[in-house]
């Protein structure tokens, strides 16, 4: 066993006998492109709605609730899908989130929330993770679409303009501080600040 590993290790650092340098560099380059493309395509696939709702945990609970909200159907037809809010757009952050999501695969395999009841019992904890994430990154996923610099306060209702021009403008509050539960139903909110 140990000899085998040693053998292959040596082979790896030995100049190639049968293949030309050109074959190895160009071939390696092309293989790299194919691998990279394949990797990104696979990762993009995990960002699609079809992928998310292929699990009944997502389809029957959170996706179902999303459908009543303004982020699913509205006058202008612009719509947010799961990954728009739950996966960062920036590449490094995205990879970090995808690695974190391996815990969700664990949850799926062991049926952590495989019934409605289990899901409801765990909802507060799951929601708190998302609130903490959005609070920490200053509601980045909201701001991917809702850019503060281009908000027209005159087009907002008095109440909204009042809050956005003070608390949000000063950076004292971020979107998620007030807009909890805009896309999914809320858990028991006792003890949450502002509720």
Question: Contact residues for other proteins (CB under 8 A)?
Answer: 68-70, 157-159, 162, 181-182, 185-189, 194-195
Nearer to other proteins, 22 or 191 (CB): 191
Minimum CB–partner distance for residue 144 and other proteins (Å): 21
Nearer to other proteins, 127 or 134 (CB): 127
Return the H-helix or E-strand segment holding 121. helix 116-136
Nearer to other proteins, 149 or 193 (CB): 193
In order of 51, 87, 97, 159, the CA distances from 8 in angstroms are 39, 40, 35, 69
Minimum CB–partner distance for residue 55 and other proteins (Å): 24
- Does residue 97 contact residue 87 with C-beta atoms inside 8 Å? yes
Nearer to other proteins, 70 or 145 (CB): 70
Minimum CB–partner distance for residue 67 and other proteins (Å): 11
Nearer to other proteins, 101 or 120 (CB): 120
CA–CA separation, 161 vs 155, rounded Å?
Answer: 8
Nearer to other proteins, 15 or 194 (CB): 194
- Three-class secondary structure of residue 12 per DSSP: helix
Minimum CB–partner distance for residue 94 and other proteins (Å): 29
Minimum CB–partner distance for residue 124 and other proteins (Å): 9
Q: Is 176 exposed, middle or buried (0-12, 13-18, 19+ CB in 10 A)?
A: buried
Q: 84-116 burial by CB neighbour count: b if 16+ within 10 A, else e?
A: bbbbbeeeeeeeeeeeeeeeeeebeeeeebeee
- Does residue 178 contact residue 163 with C-beta atoms inside 8 Å? yes
Minimum CB–partner distance for residue 186 and other proteins (Å): 5
């Amino acid at each position: 066993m140990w000899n085998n590993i040693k053998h292959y290790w040596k082979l790896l650092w030995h100049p190639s006998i049968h293949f030309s340098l050109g074959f190895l560099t160009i071939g390696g380059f092309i293989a790299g492109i194919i691998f990279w493309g394949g990797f990104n395509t696979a990762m993009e696939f995990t960002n699609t709605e079809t992928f998310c709702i292929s699990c009944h945990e997502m389809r029957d609970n959170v996706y179902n609730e999303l459908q009543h909200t303004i982020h699913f159907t509205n006058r202008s037809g612009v719509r947010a899908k799961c990954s728009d809010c739950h996966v960062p757009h920036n590449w490094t952050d995205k990879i970090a989130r995808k690695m974190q999501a391996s815990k969700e695969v664990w949850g799926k395999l062991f049926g952590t929330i495989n019934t409605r009841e289990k899901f409801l019992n765990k909802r507060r904890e799951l929601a708190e993770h998302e609130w903490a994430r959005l609070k920490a990154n200053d509601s980045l996923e909201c701001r991917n679409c809702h850019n503060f610099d281009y908000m027209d306060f005159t087009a907002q209702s008095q109440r909204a303009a009042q809050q956005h021009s003070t608390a949000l403008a000063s950076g004292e509050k971020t979107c998620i501080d007030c807009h909890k539960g805009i896309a999914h139903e809320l858990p028991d909110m006792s003890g949450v600040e502002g509720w």
